[in-house]
Amino acid sequence: MTVVAVWRVPGLALPAVAAAATAALLAVSVAGPGDGPMAWPLGVPLLAAALVALYWRHTRPTAVLALTVAAALAYYLAGFPPGPEVVPFVVALFAVAAAGRRLLAVAAVAAACLVAGSADALRGAAESWGDLFGVAGTLAAVVAAGEAHRVRRAFLEQSRQRAVEGSGCGSRASCTTR
């Protein structure tokens, strides 16, 4: 399967972009001066599992969010180079909000920030609590974007339905709209 063919497979375009972004962030974080352990052999499989799970983000968004949160927190708490673990989590967070599970998305943001902030405090990096407000704000913006996407989809579906009803076609399948 060529690179161009991947973009045409439904549901694979965004996971492919997320995988590329994660790989780039992983390469940059490993190449830079790091305090923590190397991401291999445990960190990379955690990231890979989270990226593979993104394929099911439309059919099982809650399960995908749970898996990406678990993978991101395990990666972060293990002390691997920070950065790439958030990409699959952000995509899954958007998918959950777009599926209409707003409360779950907000709870995931709060839980992830609380666990990450507590882990930093236990490591002695108490100044990172201030950084956490920026992270929480960014994740809240992702939730808001997912909610906006859901509302936009509902609006377009309602507009299509009104167009079908107003055209006298009777059913959506018997009408061809362009």
Look at the chain and count its residues: 178
Q: What is the pLDDT of residues 115-162, one digit of tens each?
A: 888 887 887 776 667 788 888 999 999 999 999 999 999 999 999 998
Q: pTM value?
A: 0.78
CB 25 within 8 A of CB 50: no
DSSP state of 38: -
Mean pLDDT is lowest, of 61-70, 109-118, 148-157, 164-173, for 164-173
d(CA 2, CA 55): 18
Mean pLDDT of 58-76: 92
- The secondary structure of residue 175, as a DSSP letter, is -
Residue where the block lists tokens 């709060």:
110
> Before 10, cis peptide (omega within 30)?
no
